[in-house]
């Protein structure tokens, strides 16, 4: 398996996998475990993102990373909107292990204002939205600059979503393929 476990012991980050709780847009726990994984090809960009954030006295906070294909189906069944959730037959970059949903924390471990919360499925979540405060616009640009400089691609409709370029070249990973299933 090409997935690498991401932990707070290994990296100076915060992890709050919201799909491992009921604090997500479905109101249901999607993952049984709070294990966070990334494809080994994403690790160099991930590490560079951490370094760039640290140089700005900021820290990454991960909401989601690898997502088994079965979990993608659960999200799609709840909200079948391909503006925000990839159709499971097409596959999500998350289900390939090459995507991160994240935000930035200040040195007091407080999330920076991004204008909306994670998984806000409205136009306010679009990168170019001007109907949010100037501070939130600035914070989104800081996150965007960190992630782009580290080598990530972005999704224009979700300020929190970053993925490897050419993500479709990576294979979909199901829960059954994992040594320790997440679901």
Burial 155-182 (b: 16+ CB within 10 A, else e): bebbbbbbbbeebeebebbebeebeeeb
Q: Which of 14, 77, 145, 158 is catalytic?
A: 158
Q: Give backbone dihedrals phi and psi of 52, rounded to 5 degrees, phi first.
A: -65, -40
Q: Do the beta carbons of residue 104 and residue 142 sit within 8 Å?
A: yes
- Give, in degrees to the nearest 5, the angle at Cα 122 between 137 and 112: 35
Q: Where are the alpha helices (DSSP H) in 83-170?
A: 134-149
- The Cα–Cα gap between 138 and 6 comes to 28
Q: Clarify whether 158 is annotated catalytic.
A: yes
- The Cα–Cα gap between 29 and 22 comes to 5
Residue 99: which of 170, 183, 1, 7 has the closest Cα?
170
Its sign, for the CA torsion 20, 10, 53, 39, is: negative
Where in the sequence numbering do the catalytic residues fall?
158
């Amino acid at each position: 398996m090409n997935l690498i476990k991401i932990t707070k012991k290994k990296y100076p980050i915060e992890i709050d996998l919201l799909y491992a709780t009921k604090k997500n847009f479905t109101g249901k726990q999607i993952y049984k475990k709070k294990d966070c994984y990334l494809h080994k090809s994403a690790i160099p960009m991930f590490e560079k993102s951490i370094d760039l954030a640290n140089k700005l006295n900021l820290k990454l906070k991960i909401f989601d990373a690898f997502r088994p294909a079965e979990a993608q189906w659960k999200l799609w069944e709840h909200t079948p909107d391909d503006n925000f959730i990839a159709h499971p037959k097409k596959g999500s970059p998350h289900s390939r292990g090459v995507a991160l949903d994240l935000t930035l924390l200040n040195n007091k471990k407080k999330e920076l204002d991004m204008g909306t919360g994670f998984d806000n499925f409205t136009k306010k979540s679009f990168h170019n939205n001007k109907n949010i405060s100037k501070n939130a616009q600035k914070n989104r640009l800081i996150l965007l600059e960190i992630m782009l400089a580290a080598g990530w691609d972005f999704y224009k409709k979700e300020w929190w979503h970053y993925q490897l370029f050419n993500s479709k070249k990576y294979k979909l990973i199901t829960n059954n393929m994992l040594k320790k299933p997440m679901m």
